[in-house]
Chain A
Amino acid sequence: MSRSIAYNSSPLLASPTPVWRSKFIVAAIALAFAGLAGRAVYIQVIENDFFQKQGEVRFARTLALPANRGRILDRNGVILASSIPVPSIWAIPEDVDRDPENLKKLAKLLGLTMAELNKKLEDEDKSFVWLKRQVDESVGKEIEALKIKGVYQRKEYKRQYPEGEAAAHVVGFTSVEDMGQEGIELAFNKDLGGRSGSRRVIKDRMGRVVEDVGEQIAPVDGRDLQLSIDSKVQFFAYQTLKDAVLLHKAKAGSVVVMDVKTGEVLALANYPSFVPDKRQNLTGEQLRNRALTDSFEPGSTMKPLVIGLALNTGRVTPQTQVQTAPGRLTIGSATISDSHAHGMLTVSEVIQKSSNIGTAKIALQMPAREMWEMFSSVGFGQKPQVPFPGAVSGRLRPYKGWRPIEQATMSYGYGLSVSLMQLAHAYTMFGRDGDLPPISMLKVDGPVTGQPIFQPKVAQEIRDMLHLVVGPGGTAPKAQTMGYSVGGKTGTAHKQEGRGYAGHRYRGVFAGLAPIDAPRIAVAVMIDEPSDGKYFGGENAAPVFSKTVQQTLRVLGIAPDMKVVPQVVTEAVEESF
């Protein structure tokens, strides 16, 4: 320990290296650290959001949660329309394996020709092409079994309409994108559609969802819609109408059945119709919901309304005598006539025999304003309060411009126009105590109170007159139906053509009630241009009324109110226990 070695004075250390070099290294390393720290701050503090986002893009996904479109149900909960996911076939053209054998099979399954399929696949730049949207489940499975490379499937919601053409006009249909296009589907598109939601998730390498991140927006499913339609009544009405239109070689026809107690529409059918699932070659003729979109001159079916007004104001009673001889009446420069000269008729008989002159004479006792007010209050000249696309208001001119001859012709249904729905609606008040319930396409619970138009006594008197129409000596004995008492009014109108009337083109109408003593339903039938010579409403429309009433009352479970001769072969015997 005498002396230590002086390392710092070692000759080895006495190197020529200058001191700044070591300092430089230290500085360089320090700078590198500072750089790293700076970068860390940059990433974690300054541009944090950007990098967070970039990271998330790589593992977080937003999944759309589609909302189910609500179902459309009839009054008994039977499905009229419902959305079902079905496969849609798509392809990436450049990836498609072009094995002709397989492609031929594919084309056959898709119902395409080879040329059509090749055309779809020829554009190789496209990375997505629909081969066919919304095919059947079984077709989808078979295509899957072919295992063609580059051909894929995706589930899409498709609307199913089990009732087919019978309810096509009421229910309507949706587009391939599940948007309402016609009928109830369009009218209530917002309610049915719902609102789709979304959720943000983290997916792992395998594509499994492992975590929810952020807030979920739950989808709001569309509301189920319960219509007032009864699918059985609807079917029978359509079937009967179709048979009648074909039998009378008519151009078209419509029928509306309404519940008198609630103002609900039980059935609304038109012919020609269409199958909602097969809409490739659809014509406007088929698509038209005539009962609402076509207005026509209602002819004699207006008479009960005018007579009702006269009774209501006390101007006449059912027994008041009206002179209709000699079957012609000149008002101003025009002459109106009856098909037969009837002579002296009571007011009841005016309805029963459908006398134009009788009605016109009674109408001319009343001021134009009163008639106009009555017509407006039952909804003529106004859009019916049903949320239906294309419903027309019909034509009712302001009373100030009415000349006496116009008032006279209007009393028997010329010079104003209504839709069949408006006509059926107006007749519901005769089935009640003279009050008019609001029309409803949706199910209504319990009876409703309407807007009073006539006194209850007048409604009763009109019912009696309507009953006479279908009895002996009336214009529509063919409207009678087994077991149920009915009443109604025929109408036969020349069709308007340009400014005048077509001589040989008619429209047969019948509107009535059943059972007549305590009405439950109002039915209106219209047959457009029957061409087999039977052009009277009593001959073409009344039988449709008869059959529709028969089936409807049966479906509604209403016991017959008339005696029928039973044809039951075996008598029922008391059951023994």
Chain B
Amino acid sequence: MMRINMLLLLCVVVSALYLVNVQYESRHLFSELDRARAQAHKLEVESERLQVEKRAQATSARIESLATLRLQMRPANPAITTYVAYAASTPDPAGAAKPVNPSSSSGQVR
């Protein structure tokens, strides 16, 4: 009888210590998780900020002023535009619209 009691007591003590350990681990992990979440939020915010920044650098107003002032460009109009019509069923419009053909570009490299 006594022996069983001792065994149970030992079990209780071990389990109690284990519980303390688990609790500690869990708090540790939780704070880790929380930090990771904060980091994720920070990155999200940063990406949003960069998107806005990118947009601010590419607004029509900025492009227009740079194009006319620095690059001396002028607005396009139909008279200086060649319109290329392609059927809506063209399988690869991206390929059709490719501006430079391979032979000429290799020629430039040379």
Contacts and interface: CB of A to CB of B under 8 A. Distances in A.
Q: Do A and B bind each other?
A: yes
Interface of A: 78-79, 82-85, 137, 160, 162-164, 166, 204, 208-212, 231-232, 235-236, 239, 482-484, 550-551, 554, 559-560, 564-568, 572, 575-577
B106 interface: no
B103 A560 contact: no
B27 A82 contact: no
Contact of A160 (B56, B64, B83): B56
A143 B30 CA distance: 33
A560 B55 contact: no
B52 A84 contact: yes
Given A79-B51, A84-B48, A84-B52, A576 B101 contact: yes
Contacts of B28: 210
Contacts of B30: 209-212
10 contacts: A78-B55, A160-B52, A164-B61, A209-B31, A211-B26, A239-B61, A483-B77, A564-B78, A572-B84, A576-B101
A91 to B, nearest CB: 25
A575 B76 contact: no
Contact of B79 (A231, A239, A551, A567): A567
A322 B36 CA distance: 80
A192 to B, nearest CB: 15
Contacts, number: 85
B45 interface: yes
Interface string B49-67: 1011001100111001000
B73 to A, nearest CB: 15
B91 interface: no
A84 B26 CA distance: 34
A164 B59 contact: yes
A568 B27 CA distance: 72
Contact of A210 (B31, B76, B80, B83): B31
B82 A209 contact: no
A554 B30 CA distance: 56
Nearest to B50: A84
B52 A166 contact: no
B83 A560 contact: yes
Contacts of B79: 482-483, 564-568
Contacts of B49: 84, 137
Closest CB pairs A-B (n = 3): A483-B78, A235-B60, A210-B27
A236 B60 contact: yes
A231 B59 CA distance: 9
B51 to A, nearest CB: 6
A577 B101 contact: yes
Contact of B80 (A160, A163, A212, A567): A567
Contacts of A565: 79
A439 B80 CA distance: 35
A572 B83 CA distance: 10
Contacts of B26: 211
Interface string B16-52: 0000000000111011001100000000010011011
Nearest to B57: A162
B52 A82 contact: yes
Contacts of A550: 77
B74 to A, nearest CB: 12
Contacts of B78: 482-484, 560, 564
B15 to A, nearest CB: 21
B85 A559 contact: yes
Given A79-B55, A162-B55, 17 more contacts: A82-B52, A85-B45, A137-B49, A164-B59, A208-B31, A208-B34, A208-B35, A209-B31, A235-B60, A482-B77, A483-B78, A550-B77, A559-B83, A564-B79, A567-B79, A568-B82, A572-B82
A162 B31 contact: no
Given A551-B75, A567-B80, A235 B59 contact: yes
A241 B56 CA distance: 22
B60 A162 contact: no
B58 to A, nearest CB: 8
Contacts of B27: 204, 210-211
B60 A568 contact: no
A89 to B, nearest CB: 19
Contacts of A232: 60
A82 B79 CA distance: 39
Nearest to A570: B82
Contacts of A163: 59-61
A127 to B, nearest CB: 27
A65 to B, nearest CB: 10
A568 B80 CA distance: 5
A442 to B, nearest CB: 20
Given A79-B55, A85-B45, A560-B83, A231 B76 contact: no
A565 to B, nearest CB: 6
B84 to A, nearest CB: 8
A208 B28 CA distance: 10
Contacts of B82: 566, 568, 572
B46 to A, nearest CB: 9
B77 A231 contact: no
